[in-house]
Amino acid sequence: MRARVLLISYYYMGVLYIDELLRAGDEIVGVVNWPGNTGFNQGWYVPPEYDVRAKALRNYLPLYEPDPAKLNSPEFVEILCKLSPDFIVSGYYSKIFRKPLLSIPPGGCVNIHPTGLPRYRGLSPYFTHMLFGDTHNYITLHWLDPGVDTGDIIGQASIEIRDDDTGYSSGHRLTEAGAALFRENWPKIKAHEAPHLDQDETQASTFNFSWDMAEINWQQSSLRIWNLVRALTKPLGGAWTLLGGQKLHVWSSKIVQPAAEIKAKVKQPGEILALTGTGLWVQCGEGQLQLTDIGFEDPSIGSPPEFLGSLMNKLPILLG
């Protein structure tokens, strides 16, 4: 069965969707892409091979890049209606589809959400499970309804979060697992034989990520901060804190066991305990971190060790 598909997607998921739909021999009647690197997507690195716009143009596909705030407008919905899609396929596009848009395709709308629904409904990025200290990242293929990620589940997949993973590396593998999940279920969706599994509301939660959350809260545990740092590190926007009123990016860290002489002292969360050849030792709300790769947002300030020298008369030195 060859289907007419309207694709509404962004980032690596959108590129892989195009590959899967073309491989299946379906007709992509339109690609709706998020315009530029704005809004929720600020701080996301988009390499050329993840560029949905370029992918669509290389394959001569009709491309639409509306203001996301107008995705559900009557004017744009009318344009999409004229495309007469059998299905809408979406993923990683951070806008809720309203009923007029959902009602366009007779076969329904399916979506990829990069968490294990019903956990973390909402604007949850592909590193959400890492942020909360889980051992695996999960991804869900589900039907769309008027709610926020509340539609029936078609299937789920997961990838293990490795100790050396970042949000970007684990998210890359998770997105590929999502594409494989879609490939497995797409023939059943087209044949109207795909599952409609109820979500377990007793397990439901909501998480809406914003880049304000990139600021480190030193009251949190060393484990929680370590996960935040690695989830947001390069090539994403990075976690950060303040040192002497200056914005300091923390690109990597590791959990450390304090030496006996440091352990005996009373310490405040965010207090710099030591400066070593391998980085700063910092007290957290619970445990300690070694910051192994740091740098000021303003490079003219100089290196953090040099800057620390100018603050030595203000002990204790606190981050945040």
pLDDT value for 310: 66
Tell me the residue ranges of DSSP E strands in 131-267.
Answer: 136-143, 153-160, 239-243, 246-256
- Contact predicate 121/204, CB 8 Å: yes
Exposed/middle/buried for 123, CB within 10 Å: 0-12, 13-18, 19+? middle
- 216 and 177, same domain (yes or no): no
Q: What is the mean pLDDT of each run of 10 residues along the chain (320 residues)?
A: 95 96 98 75 69 95 96 98 98 96 98 98 96 97 96 98 96 97 98 97 96 95 97 94 93 82 70 82 92 90 74 71
In a domain, 217, yes or no: yes
In a domain, 300, yes or no: yes
- 156 and 238, same domain (yes or no): no
- 231 and 197, same domain (yes or no): no
pLDDT value for 39: 47
In a domain, 147, yes or no: yes
Tokens at residue 277, please? 């050849």
Tell me the residue ranges of DSSP E strands in 151-301.
Answer: 153-160, 239-243, 246-256, 272-276, 279-283, 288-296
Q: How far apart are CA 118 and CA 127, in angstroms?
A: 16
Q: Any residues with CB less than 8 A from the CB of 124 and at least 6 apart, and which?
A: 113, 114, 115, 207, 208, 209
- 67 and 104, same domain (yes or no): yes
- 220 and 172, same domain (yes or no): no
- 305 and 275, same domain (yes or no): yes
| Centroid of chain to Cα 183 | 22
pLDDT value for 306: 73
Q: How far apart are CA 24 and CA 185, in angstroms?
A: 12
pLDDT value for 40: 47
Instruction: Count structural domains, the chain.
Output: 2
| Centroid of chain to Cα 133 | 15
Q: How far apart are CA 77 and CA 87, in angstroms?
A: 14
Exposed/middle/buried for 109, CB within 10 Å: 0-12, 13-18, 19+? buried
pLDDT value for 106: 98
- Contact predicate 28/20, CB 8 Å: no
Tokens at residue 136, please? 């695996």
In a domain, 319, yes or no: no
* pTM attached to this predicted model: 0.92
* 3-state secondary structure (DSSP) of residue 288: strand
- 256 and 185, same domain (yes or no): no
- 234 and 147, same domain (yes or no): no
Tell me the residue ranges of DSSP E strands in 219-287.
Answer: 239-243, 246-256, 272-276, 279-283
Q: How far apart are CA 23 and CA 127, in angstroms?
A: 28
- 199 and 225, same domain (yes or no): no
Q: Which range of residues forms the domain containing residue 294?
A: 212-314
Domain boundary among 203, 227, 255: 203
In a domain, 183, yes or no: yes
Residues forming a β-bridge with 257: none
pLDDT value for 263: 56
What is the dihedral sign for C-alpha 161, 163, 166, 167? positive
Q: What is the CATH number of the domain that holds 270?
A: 3.10.25.10
- 80 and 147, same domain (yes or no): yes
- 289 and 265, same domain (yes or no): yes
In a domain, 159, yes or no: yes
